[in-house]
Chain A
Amino acid sequence: MSLVEYIQIWVIAFVTLSLFSFLYRDNPFYKLSEHIFAGLSAGYYFGLIWHAVILQQMIDPMFDNGKWWLFIPGILGVLMFSRFSRKYSWISRLSLAFVMGNTAGIFLLSELHGKVLPQMQSTMLSLGFENGLGSFLLALIVVVGVISTLTYFYFSKEHKGLLGGVARIGIWFIMISFGAHFGYTVMARISLLIGRVQFLYFDWIGSIINLFS
């Protein structure tokens, strides 16, 4: 392993351990790491936008590809900075409206066409017995689950009588689903810790052992 690799591994190990130190007690190391992290992330954004947007999406096409009109979105982008002045913040509305309006135009259709329609269609299941009890039971669970969940999130009538009953079934289904979600999420959190421990053990301690052998 070259010297550079050693330095890299030890820098990561130092950073990892100083952040883990927070578990024992909040300390200056953790605070410092946190502030450095916030700074590096902001710096990363700056470098990224400088290259990915200003150079690659504007300067390069404008000067080498003849798309001279790309200065217009550039100006709209710069106008966004008027948000920092209380008096002129209204100037940024045009740029904001242009972006938000565009996203709204996409979502208005994609949410209906890409989510509501297909999800409705795939809930229209046959409740017949033709392919066995198992698939009937599953279809029943799905149909009752979807309808009772939609009913639970229905706000135009008090949840009383039949409506209340279906909403009650809805909350039971929702709790089962959230329970499943809880179980999955526990695994997600643990994996992240395992990732760090794998680094500390295999790479860092590995590099120490490698040093002496």
Chain B
Amino acid sequence: MTILLVFAYILLILIGAFLLYMAFKTDDRRYIYAAVAFYVIFPVIVTLKLPITTSPEVKQLYDAVEALPDSSTVMLTFDYYPSTLAETEPMSHAALHHLFRKDCKVITMTTIPLGGPSIAERVTRKLAEEYNKVYGIDFVNLGYKANYVAVLKGMGTSIETIYPTDNSGTRLSEIPMMENIENYSDIDFIFVVADNSIVDYWISIVNAQYNNPVGTGVTAVMAPRYFAYISSGQMTGMLGGMKGAAEYETLLNKPAAANMGMTSQSLVHLFIIFSVIAGNIIFLTSKKGRDGKRT
């Protein structure tokens, strides 16, 4: 088997180098597009099983949710746009697997006007069937309300004043699960899955003023910023990008979309590193003839 693997790798490298050479020759970036498409499609067809090591922030979040007493109430937020579904959806899926497996009561909400409520409905209802959870008793979707700062702050005192009804218009007083849930003090954990800076407000308003533990699943673009909140203890664990989702899936031993994507990630990353280096070698060697800035 390893000979086949070595041969495959050599082939991959040759193709990449050839396409890069053509891109440089013809200055047509579509060769690079072809290389990226190839490196993404190839592993999706021929998936290589790669060991996923767990980073401390992911373990911290997994342990925090695992330590929650069963049937505690957790707020899971769908604060992401359809544009980053590939990264954030595996996180909300994995989170729901974890929460439903622990029989937690799940309250979902969103601060994203474009698609937030529909995504929350679609994901929760699909997984609820798998764990035969009943709407209104095991989970409820509050949906979207405008002006996220007012929403986050308002739920600190009274959820019902901000959300008189759930996403489909049923009044909160008629939903059995929301009986004794008035504000954040009745919520044991907040799991924020987001692709924008709403995470900063979950931390600086909700965690700082109402002391709810906040764990997050964020896109890789946002992750580096939130190491500051992890190390100050304001954030209880973080999933960073597709790799974070893959690690969380592995911990839950529910490998899904994120795990499958890791081989493609590896190949494209190596290709991009190679093209940055190649691009700069060409730039530096030709730099002798021209000054630093492009004339």
Contacts and interface: CB of A to CB of B under 8 A. Distances in A.
Instruction: Report whether chain A binds chain B.
Output: yes
Interface of A: 23-24, 41, 44-45, 48-49, 51-53, 55-57, 60-61, 64-65, 99, 102-103, 106-107, 110-111, 113-115, 118-119, 121-122, 142, 177, 180-181, 184-188, 190-198, 201-202
A187 B243 contact: yes
Contacts of B171: 60, 64-65
A86 B67 CA distance: 58
Contacts of A41: 114
Given A23-B30, A53-B145, A99-B147, A192 B83 contact: yes
A-B pairs, 7 with minimum CB distance: A195-B86, A114-B204, A114-B208, A122-B232, A188-B220, A191-B242, A194-B261
| A interface: dominant SS | helix
Given A103-B149, A191-B242, 16 more contacts: A52-B143, A52-B167, A56-B169, A60-B171, A65-B164, A110-B204, A110-B209, A118-B232, A118-B233, A118-B234, A122-B231, A186-B269, A187-B241, A192-B83, A195-B87, A197-B41
Contacts of B207: 114
| B interface: dominant SS | helix
Interface of B: 30, 33, 36-37, 40-41, 44-45, 83-87, 113-115, 117, 143-147, 149-150, 153, 163-165, 167, 169, 171, 200-201, 203-205, 207-209, 219-221, 223-225, 228, 231-234, 240-243, 257, 260-261, 264-265, 268-269, 272
B260 to A, nearest CB: 7
Nearest to B231: A122
Given A106-B149, A190-B40, A195 B257 contact: yes
30 contacts: A23-B30, A23-B33, A24-B30, A53-B146, A55-B169, A56-B163, A56-B164, A103-B147, A107-B149, A111-B204, A113-B204, A113-B209, A114-B203, A114-B207, A114-B234, A115-B208, A118-B233, A177-B224, A181-B225, A187-B220, A190-B268, A191-B261, A192-B86, A192-B87, A193-B36, A194-B44, A197-B37, A201-B41, A201-B44, A201-B45
